[in-house]
Amino acid sequence: MVARSQMQTAPSSLAGSQRTRFALPILAFAGALAQTAYVWRGIERARAFAAEGRRYQRRIATPALRILILGDSTGVGIGATSPEDSIAGLLATEFPQADIVNVSQSGARVAHVTRQAQRCVRLGWHFDLALVHVGGNDVLRATPIDRLVISGQHLMTELTRLADRTVWLGPLNIGLAPLFPPPYSWLLAARSHAAARVFAACAHAHGAHFIDFCASDHSNHFLRERRASFAVDGLHPSSSAYRYGYAALRAAMQRQVEATIPTPQAADAAAPA
């Protein structure tokens, strides 16, 4: 009687283990699909969010300082509470006699910003300082590294014709953005660091300064202040992050381009009465 009972139970246990073995991959696949759908819906919301933004610029007829801002949505200032909280707006506040031209466009990649620079060259413009905000979209869209190298070199070549000094504000570690759960965050973190190395090399080769917001000190800040550093879409920087980025920019300006970029007081003194 016991043997017969064991014989009846064994097939039942075997069938149960087989069902579990087949069910687990199906559940994992369904979970991966749901996670992918969540991320893509978030990206679409971020794009719609970016489309509503407007870039800040301020034109002055006889400026003491000419600044050009090129780039993507971070150059536009998407995520800031107001345009005045963007990098361009913060510059305008500190340098009231600066002419600030902003040609940034949301969604731009490095190759697109090269075309922004080329249009400025064709117009015959020239600036004391060019600020480049680009790289995040190349990380998100997985632009191949070899193409990034070529695009970065072309961009820097154009900027040497356009401005006396250039500062490239690199993207932060996109893997830290709340929009992306693991394993997407891990992949985007690796892409962010790889792209930052390319951008830094291109900038250095052309005498420009690169601010690597993927570096550990900056990444640690954004990790500690993760909730405050990102806008409501979970992707773009917040006003707090732009203020942090502006502080890094001002430190770079003082160290790297102080011979060309005067202090706010000097800029005001140089302005026509």
Tokens found for residue 204: 């250095």
State how far the alpha carbon of 196 is from the alpha carbons of 68, 84, 172, 244, in Å: 22, 27, 9, 18
By the 8 A CB rule, do 153 and 200 touch?
no
Determine how many CB atoms are found less than 10 A away from the CB of residue 165: 20
What pLDDT score was predicted for residue 84? 95
What pLDDT score was predicted for residue 38? 47
- Cβ neighbors of 116 (< 8 A, separation 6 or more) are 70, 71, 103, 104, 105, 108
Task: Residues 54-270: name the CATH superfamily.
Answer: SGNH hydrolase (3.40.50.1110)
Span 188-208, average pLDDT: 97
Q: Of 62, 170, 37, 47, nearest to 110 (Cα)?
A: 170
What pLDDT score was predicted for residue 44? 66
- Has residue 116 got a pLDDT over 70? yes
Task: Summarize pLDDT for 226-256 with one digit per residue, the tens.
Answer: 999 999 999 999 999 999 999 999 999 887 6
State phi, psi for 106 to the nearest 5 degrees: -60, 140
Indicate whether this model's pTM tops 0.75.
yes
By the 8 A CB rule, do 46 and 232 touch?
no
Percent of the chain with pLDDT over 90: 71
* Of 22-31, 122-131, 165-174, the least confident: 22-31
- Has residue 2 got a pLDDT over 50? no
d(CA 17, CA 30): 20
The pLDDT confidence band at residue 72, using thresholds 50, 70 and 90, is very high
Burial of 117 (0-12, 13-18, 19+ CB in 10 A): buried
Tell me the pLDDT of the chain averaged across its residues: 85
Three-state SS string over 248-272 comes to HHHHHHHHHCCCCCCCHHHHHHHCC
